[in-house]
Amino acid sequence: MSDYLFDHEKLHVYQKALLFIVWLNETITGIEKRHAVVDQLDRASTSIVLNIAEGNGKFTARDRCKYFDIARGSALECAGGLDTIAAKKCYQKKSFYPGK
């Protein structure tokens, strides 16, 4: 018997997206809420996971692709959000750059 309840949980990209949420949450926790990018990063990172899960449940390739494209867009939005945080210097270097 599998440890997974749903097919999307088997996807490597889905597991990585969940790990990204954990890392991001730790990173943005100390940043003041007045920065709109903090809320946007939270929503965009959540969107990645939700769209991968929903897309993987679709029956046609076209439908799956649509949701996976949205998830990719949210990932790129997160990249821009992280660049914004770095540009505004509103992060702790220790947490923002893991391993450094």
pLDDT digits (tens, 9 = 90+) for 46-98: 999 999 999 999 999 999 999 999 999 999 999 999 999 988 888 655 555 55
* Model pTM score: 0.86
Q: Are 67 and 52 in contact (CB under 8 A)?
A: yes
**94, two tokens:** 């220790």
> How many angstroms separate the CA atoms of 43 and 78, rounded?
9
One-letter identity of residue 49: V
> How many angstroms separate the CA atoms of 62 and 19, rounded?
27
> How many angstroms separate the CA atoms of 74 and 87, rounded?
20
> How many angstroms separate the CA atoms of 95 and 100, rounded?
9
Task: Map tokens 């954990």 to a residue.
Answer: 22
Domains of the chain: 10-90 (1.20.1440.60)
Average of per-residue pLDDT across 14-38: 90
**71-80 tens-digit pLDDT:** 999 999 999 9
